[in-house]
Structure 1
């Protein structure tokens, strides 16, 4: 072995495999700042269904596609897993309380907010930074989540700063 090869072998990093613990993984994922959204749909019985979601992303401009993810253990999973239409509401910086409300369990969230319904019956919040109405394009298994892909059918914006989530708490981009 040449002297150069011996030097390279001596300084090469040793690869280490680490166990991925859920709490540590959550902390690592928390390093990625995300926007905060509320996703809404109509249940099979016509009830208004909604939840706070930070796992939202754009997919494609042509066709216009977005995606978001839902935990299979979430109380409203069945409604979103069966729906054909939904709406994404990107929250404004001043809407931390609304985010917390829709992240909570066991209460009628819609009795505390102003909303209308679109032609498909999906509840549309009146207060938002951006609102994107979608029709289901695809659903994919994603481990303990389902990845929901929606085709954008309508969109609206209000001139407001977005609510951001980073390291387990709300943050500001300004």
Structure 2
């Protein structure tokens, strides 16, 4: 029988990349959060997905947006990951960022950037899955940040050797 402790242990032992997803409120204020539930969905059309906990204070703002930006964080952005995972702080006052041509907050230093329009939202238990259609993409060429067992780091060099 499956239980939450075993499920959490298995998922915590599964290495993932780390993203920060950003958008703006109706008042044009930037919002963002750390997300590791990010994945590609389709190449044609280009679709990605991520999930947001229904208890997150910005849940409704993200779910009702027309678009969002997904930043795949660079290996040296562990501090950005932690900042956007921390509650009750003015995140955007502590980083370098700018507004894109799509009116989305873009954090400096990313590994990759996907600016998306909302394609679909799906109710999924205690989360909402957002599927985004990729409208703009930028790849900095930087190595990505990896998350495994509550630790951040770069992908080991052995993975780049051929």
Provide the TM-score with structure 1 as the length reference: 0.86
Alignment partner for residue 59 of structure 2, among 66, 71, 77? 77
* 2:127 matches 1:150: no
* 2:107 matches 1:125: yes
**For this pair of structures, how many residues does the alignment match?**
156
Tell me what 1:115 maps to: 97
Deviation of 1:118 after TM superposition, in Å, equals: 2.2
Return the index of the structure with the highest Cα Rg: 1
What secondary structure is seen at the aligned counterpart in 2 of 1:141? strand
Q: Is contact 2:73-2:144 (8 Å) kept?
A: yes
Runs of 4+ in 1 over 2 A off after TM superposition: 118-121
| Structure 1, unaligned runs of 5 or more | 1-17
Deviation of 1:81 after TM superposition, in Å, equals: 1.1
| Structure 2, unaligned runs of 5 or more | 157-162
What secondary structure is seen at the aligned counterpart in 2 of 1:60? strand
Q: Is contact 2:117-2:132 (8 Å) kept?
A: yes
* 2:13 matches 1:37: no
